Amino acid sequence: MPGASTDLGGAHPVYCGWEYFFIPQSGHVGLVRHMNDRDDSSLICEGSNGARKCLNYTGYEENSTIKRFKKIPKRKVALLLSYSGAKYYGMQRNPGVETIESKLHEALVKAGAISPWNADSLSKISFQRCARTDKGVSARENVVSLKVHMTDNLQENINNFLPPDIRVMGIQRCTKSFNSKNQCTARLYDYILPTFSFAKSLHLTNDTYRICQTTLTNIRRLLKVFVGTHNFHNYTSGKEFTDASAIRFIMDFTCAEPFVMEGVEFIRLSIKGQSFMIHQIRKMIGLVISIVRGLCAETYITKTFSNLKVHVPKAPGLGLLLRQVFFTDYNRKCNNGSSGGINWDSSWEALEEFENKVITPHIITTEKQEGSMGNWLIKLYSSHDFCVPENETCSSVQQAP
């Protein structure tokens, strides 16, 4: 096809399979084909004056000049992602609802990082997420691995098409075999909650409550009970005691000093483990709250690790935050070889700013406005029963609120 005008007018690149085109209308992404390909979904035609008409897959017709560029090869990268998960139904794509990945894939296509017809075929771009966060859960650091077209200013271009509560914080080249899920050696989560969660009475569940050092010491002692290798089949759904995947290793579980925001005192619990099952962290925290409040004995923790089928209360998802992911083994191998590992030190200030200006304020403000923890505590008192017959091992039990 002969060349066209070079007037690009702030255009964005769109990969069409064998070459790049620039479409001046930002956001109008088409499956651009040659006329003789007879692709009914989209055609590109050349007029007698050298101008071209592009009809994209959405049916949007555009009369403008389009310049052809050399094909840009794919490269495997690790992409660092930060997001506030409040408005989204989790990380993973889910047809019919907005998720973090659906927004990311849309932005990747519009930025020219992946071709439109690969957006729904993740295997073609080797897409993998490090952590599949649940509905409402945020992330300071989550990493996805995939193959992209390394265009100029790729990170900036992707962010131009993302909402402000989702940001790409860094892009790094990695080995072809890198898999952000399988090669993640540990994940660190935070859980931010008001200190009145640990008050002995519902009457103290208000903004004026301030936690004492004795209670903090008790919380820290209980958290240490979870450290080590245990069977967490009671902390998720659909797992039996005999299921090997229910056995998880917790490296550390800590409680920081309290802080006050918007007149409410909060604390941050931090848990580091190799991997976690769905709802596991929220149930661990829900049980600690129940014990500190005096609703069940400390020995109940040991019972949850046994072959008894017991129910464990699940704390709200609002305060949960994926803080950091680790690739220790991968980095060690890379540092011993010719290529470097995954390192986000250069993105630290941007990560800190996003957490302090977007994630944490949202958690605090939403808790103040909606009373997520207070409402959950009322349900905990009214509907949760910690009594379990000693001979009960596999029977159905009441679901936790």
CATH number of the domain that 128 lies in?
A: 3.30.70.580
In a domain, 356, yes or no: yes
56 and 83 both lie in a single domain: no
Instruction: Name the domain count of the chain.
Output: 3
Q: Which of 114, 146, 173 is the last residue of a domain?
A: 173
For the entire predicted model, the pTM comes to 0.79
Nearest CA-CA partner of 401 in 320, 311, 319, 321? 311
28 and 86 both lie in a single domain: no
Which residues, at least 6 apart from 190, have a Cβ–Cβ distance to it below 8 Å? 268, 269, 270, 320, 321, 323
162 and 135 both lie in a single domain: yes
141 and 284 both lie in a single domain: no
215 and 290 both lie in a single domain: yes
CATH number at residue 200: 3.30.70.660
Altogether, the residues listed in the chain come to a count of: 401
Instruction: Give the active site residue among 134, 243, 252, 329.
Output: 134
**Contact (Cβ atoms closer than 8 angstroms) between residue 272 and residue 187:** yes
Tokens at 108, concatenated: 């990747």
* Amino acid at position 372, single letter: S
Per-residue tens of pLDDT for the chain, all 401 residues = 333 333 333 444 443 433 344 343 333 333 343 333 333 333 343 333 344 444 333 333 344 444 443 456 789 999 999 999 988 998 988 888 999 999 999 999 889 888 877 767 778 899 999 998 988 899 999 999 999 988 889 999 999 999 999 999 999 999 999 999 999 999 999 999 999 999 988 888 889 999 999 999 999 999 999 999 999 999 999 899 999 999 999 999 999 999 999 999 999 999 999 999 999 999 999 999 999 999 999 999 999 999 999 989 999 999 999 999 999 999 998 876 556 789 999 999 999 999 999 999 999 999 999 999 999 999 998 877 775 544 443 333 333 33
In a domain, 390, yes or no: no
142 and 196 both lie in a single domain: no
In a domain, 136, yes or no: yes
In a domain, 336, yes or no: no
90 and 52 both lie in a single domain: no
- Give the residue numbers spanning the domain of 233: 186-327+352-383
Tokens at 230, concatenated: 């245990």
Specify whether 207 is catalytic.
no
258 and 377 both lie in a single domain: yes
In a domain, 237, yes or no: yes
222 and 102 both lie in a single domain: no
92 and 139 both lie in a single domain: yes
Q: Which of 69, 96, 115 is the last residue of a domain?
A: 69
Q: H/E element holding 158?
A: helix 154-160
Residue 304, SS3? helix
198 and 93 both lie in a single domain: no
Q: Which of 112, 138, 173 is the last residue of a domain?
A: 173
In a domain, 290, yes or no: yes
**Contact (Cβ atoms closer than 8 angstroms) between residue 293 and residue 215:** no
In a domain, 227, yes or no: yes
266 and 308 both lie in a single domain: yes
